[in-house]
Amino acid sequence: QLLLKKQAKEGREIPVSEIAEVTNLSRQTVYNWKNGIQVDSLDSDTAFAFANYFEANLDELVEFIPRKQ
């Protein structure tokens, strides 16, 4: 998990509020991502904010799950 890696690298727990402030995302968005709450869509600004914060590729952040027909 990206958050665990970043916390280990920095040697501290990183609160949701800090991630939200640095990425300019809402605390609810960060909370949902941190807790693995599935979302139906993810806009590019949000995806890039997470990718930049965690110094990660987009494919490390999201998993495509096709909708059931």
The tens digit of pLDDT for each residue in 41-54 reads: 778 898 899 999 99
Residues ≥6 apart with Cβ < 8 Å to 26:
20
Quick one: pLDDT at residue 65? 76
Quick one: pLDDT at residue 33? 86
- 69 has a pLDDT exceeding 90: no
Quick one: pLDDT at residue 59? 85
Q: CA-CA distance, 19 to 27, in Å (whole number)?
A: 8
Instruction: Tell me the pTM.
Output: 0.79
